[in-house]
Amino acid sequence: MAVSTASRLSPPRFRAPPPSLHPPTRRSRFSPVRAAKLEAVLSIGTHLIPHPRKAAKGGEDAFFANCDAGGVFAIADGVSGWAEKDVNPALFSRELMRNSSNFLNDEEASRDPQILLMKAHAATSSIGSATVIIAMLEKTGTLKIASVGDCGLKVIRKGQVMFSISPQEHYFDCPYQISSEAVGQTYQDALVCSVNLMEGDIIVSGSDGLFDNIFDQEILSIISESPGVDEAAKALAELARKHSVDVTFDSPYSMEARSRGFDVPWWKKLLGAKLIGGKMDDITVVVAQVKTVVVPEDEGGDTEEQKGNDQGAAAVVAFAEQND
Amino acid sequence: MAVSTASRLSPPRFRAPPPSLHPPTRRSRFSPVRAAKLEAVLSIGTHLIPHPRKAAKGGEDAFFANCDAGGVFAIADGVSGWAEKDVNPALFSRELMRNSSNFLNDEEASRDPQILLMKAHAATSSIGSATVIIAMLEKTGTLKIASVGDCGLKVIRKGQVMFSISPQEHYFDCPYQISSEAVGQTYQDALVCSVNLMEGDIIVSGSDGLFDNIFDQEILSIISESPGVDEAAKALAELARKHSVDVTFDSPYSMEARSRGFDVPWWKKLLGAKLIGGKMDDITVVVAQVKTVVVPEDEGGDTEEQKGNDQGAAAVVAFAEQND
């Protein structure tokens, strides 16, 4: 029973607004008028704040973002338990992201995030493991996603979360993970899904350090107030960081822990204490907005001058290493 | 920071078990051995319990399920507010479902749930509106989904919810809706997404009457205990019904209402009351399990004897009208 009828609504229909046009200026100066088509591209902003105690080494998250051919981004969260075995957990996640970026030159991998994950994993020789998400936008507006573990991704349309992916885990705090060891997961274990996006849709993706420390309503609020994807990514990361070090904040993480039966010791309970607080962690945020660009009908859409997102024609590739 | 390393895990890798083989028996008796391929099909169970006060007329939900060509199902939830205008809210949802089922004979619509929704909506002449979800499984195992409003769908793999769709709404209790009126939504407003499924995956879909009255943990528990899809659909609907009429049950619906700022009147609050209880509603449940069948390599997979799910070769088409 949906209570309200359509006729009681103010006209609520969402239609994609007319595309903000970024025609291929260089080409058009020399070309006759020709039929044009629309292609979807991503404008991408990123921000990484390492775990306070890991800041000196840049943390254990890694990511890349590339605005070529629609737009691709990926996030890997190195599993910290490896430090107990004297393995730097950042090495695996960073190499996995470098390899993922390199395999975008591979025809097959550049069109399929699961294949990209397979090839990048196979090429990674570091010891360690990581949760990972890879997302790529097709020119038609379809966002293809492959995810292993608990990196998150939400799509916001008209001020609502209209799509989000679920984390995969073996048990609380032990997510599925791509690993150098045979007991880990592989591309075959990935959640593979896609969602059709419209102009203006906003993608918010991140390592669990983001989604463990910030609620959907806070994400929606920040997105609505941010002038652009860079500012949004920074604001989201900073609020998540603030919550992560706040021992009085009842975070999504502490609420989830309690719902799984975790609690403070009995003697603390007697004193009125409860399991609460943010979760200190590396925090990686990717915010991407779908835009449309006009390209000539008879072009393949692969030449540089057809890119029109905010970051210009050149590929934007960023690694966590740059934040070290 | 994912705390646990892969090496601390018991071998957790999920691999699809070998397919339960339902070879095309009739054909194979007369044919030589030939190369075979695997195709994904759905085994579908359904159950509808109308709103207690609407039971005499069968309620306002409608659905269909069809196991042909992989498997398709759809649910429509008639918007009850139309009764205030002396319109039977069931007419629109039922006609929309009948038309959706009929358009499965349409080549284009049978491959794309959004096109199916477009054509079924255009062919529907009843006055009214409805939330709607249509899902269809491709032989490759990809589940394609188009949803307008707050019907839900979750995919369960290895005892976890690994995929779920978000509701779309204008405001609390006023979902997006396909309508006979111009102010309603259309196929263009649908959430369109897809997810790659594996053998054994379970799909739980339903009208909001299901998901407003039952928690994920309860769904997982019932799915794990049910011997088959029919029993699971019935058990889920019955538990949701039980909660829906329980004024002391703190349901997902009452929790959501409180989180949106709704509350009991101040004088009840003074007496210690809080907004609580299930939500009486029509409850439609579809439970589907992914199975694989072996078909000869040189067959198109469209002949009757290649169907191998539990419900046999014939299409299973059910309408809510049958429950009247």
User: Which residues of chain B make contact with A281, given a CB cutoff of 8 A?
Assistant: 1
Among the partner residues A170, A194, A209, nearest to B193 by beta-carbon distance: A194
**Average pLDDT value over all residues in chain B:** 84
Summarised one tens digit per residue, pLDDT across range A98-149 is 999 999 999 999 999 999 999 999 999 999 999 999 999 999 999 999 999 9
pLDDT at A19 over 60: no
The model's confidence at residue A232, banded by pLDDT at 50, 70 and 90, is very high
Average pLDDT of the segment spanning A237-260? 95
Interface of A with B in 98-157 (CB under 8 A): 129-131, 149-150
Of A111-125, A287-301, B67-81, B289-303, the least confident: B289-303
What predicted TM-score, i.e. pTM, was given to this entire model? 0.84
pLDDT at A316 over 70: no
User: Which residues of chain B make contact with A194, given a CB cutoff of 8 A?
Assistant: 193-195
3-state secondary structure chain B: CCCCCHHHCCCCCCCCCCCCCCCCHHHHHHCCCCCEEEEEEEEEEEEEECCHHHHHHCCCEEEEEECHHHCEEEEEEEEHHHHHHCCCHHHHHHHHHHHHHHHHHCCCHHHCHHHHHHHHHHCCCCCCEEEEEEEEECCCCEEEEEEECCCEEEEEECCEEEEECCCCEEECCEECCEECCCCCECHHHCEEEEEECCCCCEEEEECHHHHCCCCHHHHHHHHHHCCCHHHHHHHHHHHHHHHHCCCCCECHHHHHHHHCCCCCCHHHHHCCCCCCECCCCCEEEEEEEEEEEEEECCCCCCCHHHCCCCCCCCCCCCCHHHHC
Residues of chain B with pLDDT > 90, as a percent, come to 71
pLDDT at B128 over 90: yes
Quick one: which of A222, A245, A234 has its CA closest to A284? A234
- Give me A279's structure tokens: 């979760």
Per-residue model confidence (pLDDT) at position A299? 54
Interface of B with A in 151-180 (CB under 8 A): 160-166, 168-170, 173-177, 179
| Alpha-carbon gap: A128 to the closest alpha carbon of chain B (Å) | 8
Per-residue model confidence (pLDDT) at position A70? 86
Per-residue model confidence (pLDDT) at position A293? 94
pLDDT at B229 over 70: yes
Chain B residue at shortest CA distance from A78: B1
| Alpha-carbon gap: A100 to the closest alpha carbon of chain B (Å) | 20
Architecture of domain B37-207+282-294: 4-Layer Sandwich (3.60)
Q: For residue A215, count CB atoms less than 10 angstroms from its CB and return exposed for 0-12, middle for 13-18, buried for 19 or more.
A: middle
Residue reference for tokens 């260089």: A26
Residues of chain B with pLDDT > 70, as a percent, come to 81
Residues of chain A with pLDDT > 70, as a percent, come to 81
How crowded is residue B206: how many other Cβ atoms within 10 Å of its Cβ? 32
- Would you call B6 and A184 a contact, using CB atoms and an 8 Å cutoff? yes
Give the span between the Cα atoms of A44 and B21, in whole angstroms.
Answer: 46
Size of interface A-B (CB pairs under 8 A): 182
pLDDT at A193 over 50: yes
Average pLDDT of the segment spanning A143-157? 98
pLDDT at A2 over 90: no
pLDDT at A285 over 60: yes
**Average pLDDT value over all residues in chain A:** 84
Per-residue model confidence (pLDDT) at position B104? 96
